[in-house]
Structure 1
Amino acid sequence: MIPPELAALRSPHAVRARSHSVLDHVQAGNSPYFTLDEGALDTVADYVAEVTRRAYPTLDIPYHSRWRHFDAGGVARWEALAARLEADPLETARIMVDLAVASVLLDAGAGDAWRYHEAATGLTVTRSEGLGVASLRMFEAGAFSSDPSVPLRVDAQALIGLDATTLARHFQVGPDNPLVGLEGRVALLNRLGAAMAARPDLFGDGATRPGGLIDALLPQARLGRLPAARILEALLDGLSSIWPAGLVVDGVVLGDVGRHPAIVVPDRSAGLVPFHKLSQWLTYSLLEPFEAAGVAVVDLDDLTALPEYRNGGLLVDLGLIVPRAPVDPAQKHPVDSEMIVEWRALTVALMDRLADRVRERLGLDAAAFPLAKLLQGGTWTAGRQIAAQKRPGGPPPIAIDADGTVF
């Protein structure tokens, strides 16, 4: 039985509340790492609004999710694959969940040297977009299914048996095309298979697969409405064991949680700041599959902005978060260091404040422009753009030494 104060960290409410506590700590001048120039919030809002209008002139902005990467180069790959399916809406939704989960878990940083050449289009794609396209093509080839007669599936048996040679072949990895963390990616998918096999209540007791979440969560949708936080909580419950670098407290694997002195409470959760970045990115990527199943996913802004280096880098590069001492962008900092935990928490909290100002500039309310669209419109693209302007190759202003399951 997980102590309730630790179980409570598996929620977006805890991510937001504790990140805002860290923001209060920094605003009070208690941080040895950062100060804030709150006047720069308008500068950031202007920049993000401009980037958003340029990318989406009609302000018809999709969710920030893995599905955007599948369209790299303007090619509607999922739509082409879906057109060939002979499946009812529920099975289509299960297939979408299968693809999204496998693809998101393969979305650690690819490194600067890796490329994926897509034979069908002649395109060469890199980084997250390349990983997205490669994972979709691997899925299409049936490499995540243990049943050749059902290729478009991701199941526990296939994941447990997946090896680095197979992944390398599908991702075109070789001496001249190295992919960062190949072995780690395989190990993560192996652990995903084992975690699913241990939870038939969430992933199905027949073909145990990520798409089992559709069947597990649909009964919890009242009047066809499912809170977004419920999807995240199911992921945090079912997948907590897969993260290799997850914080462990009293034998409980907490996942993407850091330590910071701003959190002062009288229980075992003292000093703990949860983020659950990859799980929230996965939740954003499951919105469309659940909608395909006929469910309205509601209360999207119960989720938080993603505390990763593009969003956080934007706030540093435009002067909202100000390092007290110069930071060498080439020096990597441990992901669990107090400075990085503080930077990530500030990112979550300040994105809440930024959202309202960007909405004002775009003339949209929170219902039309939730955080899932701010990120897409939005802050992630703006962070990549300003980084490219400031540093050759576009690395973030602060470098993180992480295993790819956090950033």
Structure 2
Amino acid sequence: MILRPAAFEGPDRPTISEAVKELLSADAVRTRCHDIMVAAEHDELVYFQWHPGEMAGIAAYVAAIIQKRFPNLRIPPHSRWRHFEALGHSLAPASPGEPRAEVARRAIDLVTPSVLLDAGTGRQWRYCDPRLGMLGRSEGLAAASLALFTSGALSANPDDPLRTDAERLSCCDDRVLAHAFQVGPDNPLVGLEERASLLRRLGRLLQDHPTIFGIPARLGNLFDHIAAHALDGCVRAPDILSLLLVILAPLWPKRLSQDGTGLGDCWRHPASRDGYVPFHKLTQWLVYSLIEPLEIGGLRVVDHDRLTGLAEYRNGGLLLDMGALTVRDRQLLVHPQPVGSELVVEWRALTVAALDELRGTVSRQLGAGQRFPLTLTELMEGGTWSAGRTVAACARSDGGPPLNILSDGTVF
């Protein structure tokens, strides 16, 4: 139940070393994050202290939230589609009789740029949705990206506005994005220019991979590529992640690289076995959000739990706000921190490792005899993301994260 090896090969795909392949994987995220947790358990980290005795209380809190929100424990997957559904947009045919494969393509056309734009907004930005009013952070970005898509701004075909074509992405400038995202002097969005640049790079990248995205290049054609390389209609989530990490590597700003390949959301920390700590947060978020489109197209996606929890501020904020993590110097909570700093890397890595622990503990607290354990995507959607938002709202007037991160709009 894997993608055929040819999914990773082809004349328009770069050759990458085995060392880079390993870092561009979910397994690398999990193992390196647990390396940082081992150092925390031995009180060897420079910036954070770990208090495992607090985890039982956090698990009980998360379990209570899950029971309140989903008393029947039928928890939908953690995905961008939950935000779209709240906005009144669901996975459904655009017209009667539309083929399942085309529904999947349109869904990929929508969700991929939305996820790639779903990085930190800063504390001031808001989006005014006509139905739901003022929305901030991830919810606001979902509404803005949905409006961008449904306006036809990403389609090169006026008769088929609900699609995302390389031709349009390649010419997406700051003004287009600023208009769609309601950005202005009184409503600044962190990383606006970099987000627009990312969309332009995405357009060029699609054109550079015709065997995946077709000629002319369309984002939704990714469905056909994955379907063609599935075995018996089945694909593994970690294989989709590895494929996307290789394909999308040129998207990200120039950070760490190895053997000439950019490593994306990957950073340095001395407690890791090889000095690298990858997170691949946005790309994992994208894979979680592609599962439903792929399945509506007729594929079956398995091994979700080989992916990891997401290293972002709601999950990580829960640990800080509820005392499982404390900083050795509280002044660090006040001063803005670079996203690649050792402090932020520790926080994100401990978040991923702690989510693995919480998954088992919360499952047990919800009771035996049910369909357990929870998947990681159920844990995040049902509990930790909502719990992190709730405790943040109690702890800070703006409901923002406990750490002030200097983001460029492309990380989380």
Whether TM-score is above 0.5 comes out as yes
Are the aligned partners of 2:119 and 2:410 in contact in 1 as well (CA < 8 Å)?
yes
**One-letter amino acid matched to 1:146:** A
Q: 2:208 aligns with which of 189, 198, 216?
A: 198
- TM-score, structure 1 as length reference: 0.92
Are the aligned partners of 2:281 and 2:311 in contact in 1 as well (CA < 8 Å)?
yes
Q: 1:99 aligns with which of 92, 110, 114?
A: 110
CA apart distance, 1:327: 4.2
**One-letter amino acid matched to 2:32:** R
**1:153-210 deviation line (CA, Å, top 9, x unaligned):** 101111001112122222222333333322121111001111111112222x223122
CA apart distance, 1:328: 4.2
Residue number in structure 2 paired with 1:78: 90
Residue number in structure 2 paired with 1:90: 101
Residue number in structure 2 paired with 1:267: none
Q: 1:145 aligns with which of 137, 155, 166?
A: 155
**One-letter amino acid matched to 2:142:** G
Are the aligned partners of 1:305 and 1:375 in contact in 2 as well (CA < 8 Å)?
yes
Residue number in structure 1 paired with 2:249: 240
Cα separation, partners in 2 of 1:328 and 1:29, compared to 1, 3 Å:
closer
SS at match of 1:117: strand
- Report 1:150-165 matches (<5 A): 150-165=160-175
Is 1:109 matched up with 2:90? no
Cα separation, partners in 2 of 1:245 and 1:86, compared to 1, 3 Å:
farther
Q: 1:399 aligns with which of 379, 404, 412?
A: 404
Residue number in structure 2 paired with 1:58: 72
- Counterpart Cα distance in 2 of 1:290 and 1:156: 21
Q: 1:176 aligns with which of 149, 173, 186?
A: 186
**One-letter amino acid matched to 1:279:** T
CA apart distance, 1:23: 1.0
- TM-score, structure 2 as length reference: 0.91
Segment of structure 1 superposing worse, 325-334 or 344-353: 325-334
Are the aligned partners of 1:196 and 1:238 in contact in 2 as well (CA < 8 Å)?
no
Q: 1:374 aligns with which of 371, 379, 390?
A: 379
The alignment's C-alpha RMSD in Å is: 1.9
- Counterpart Cα distance in 2 of 1:288 and 1:323: 38
Residue number in structure 2 paired with 1:68: 82
**1:318-364 deviation line (CA, Å, top 9, x unaligned):** 11122222244331111111121111111111110110011112237
Residue number in structure 1 paired with 2:364: 360
- Counterpart Cα distance in 1 of 2:320 and 2:234: 38
SS at match of 2:248: helix
Are the aligned partners of 1:329 and 1:396 in contact in 2 as well (CA < 8 Å)?
no
Are the aligned partners of 1:71 and 1:77 in contact in 2 as well (CA < 8 Å)?
yes
CA apart distance, 1:82: 3.8
CA apart distance, 1:78: 2.9
CA apart distance, 1:41: 1.2
**One-letter amino acid matched to 1:385:** T
Aligned identity (percent) is 47
CA apart distance, 1:242: 0.5
Residue number in structure 2 paired with 1:46: 60
- Counterpart Cα distance in 1 of 2:219 and 2:127: 26
- Counterpart Cα distance in 2 of 1:177 and 1:387: 22
**1:104-152 deviation line (CA, Å, top 9, x unaligned):** 1222223333333334x37333321122112112211110011212211
Cα separation, partners in 2 of 1:393 and 1:275, compared to 1, 3 Å:
same
SS at match of 2:257: strand
Are the aligned partners of 2:84 and 2:90 in contact in 1 as well (CA < 8 Å)?
yes
- Counterpart Cα distance in 1 of 2:176 and 2:295: 32
Are the aligned partners of 2:244 and 2:283 in contact in 1 as well (CA < 8 Å)?
yes
CA apart distance, 1:63: 1.0
Residue number in structure 1 paired with 2:30: 16
Are the aligned partners of 1:327 and 1:397 in contact in 2 as well (CA < 8 Å)?
no
SS at match of 1:180: coil
Are the aligned partners of 1:97 and 1:286 in contact in 2 as well (CA < 8 Å)?
yes
**One-letter amino acid matched to 2:113:** A
**One-letter amino acid matched to 2:117:** L
Aligned length: 397
Residue number in structure 2 paired with 1:342: 346
Residue number in structure 1 paired with 2:229: 220
- Counterpart Cα distance in 2 of 1:402 and 1:261: 22
Cα separation, partners in 2 of 1:206 and 1:126, compared to 1, 3 Å:
same
**1:75-121 deviation line (CA, Å, top 9, x unaligned):** 42235x745465200011011011000111222223333333334x3
Segment of structure 1 superposing worse, 393-402 or 185-194: 393-402
- Counterpart Cα distance in 1 of 2:122 and 2:326: 27
Residue number in structure 1 paired with 2:283: 279
Q: 2:312 aligns with which of 302, 308, 312?
A: 308
Are the aligned partners of 2:120 and 2:411 in contact in 1 as well (CA < 8 Å)?
no
Q: 1:256 aligns with which of 245, 265, 271?
A: 265
Is 1:318 matched up with 2:330? no
Is 1:118 matched up with 2:122? no
- Counterpart Cα distance in 1 of 2:165 and 2:94: 22
- Counterpart Cα distance in 1 of 2:330 and 2:356: 26
**One-letter amino acid matched to 1:10:** L
- Counterpart Cα distance in 2 of 1:95 and 1:127: 24
**1:45-101 deviation line (CA, Å, top 9, x unaligned):** 0111112222222222111111111133xx42235x745465200011011011000
- Counterpart Cα distance in 2 of 1:117 and 1:29: 45
**One-letter amino acid matched to 1:209:** R
Cα separation, partners in 2 of 1:114 and 1:356, compared to 1, 3 Å:
same
**One-letter amino acid matched to 1:78:** S
In structure 1, runs of 5+ residues without a counterpart are 265-269
Q: 2:217 aligns with which of 174, 199, 208?
A: 208
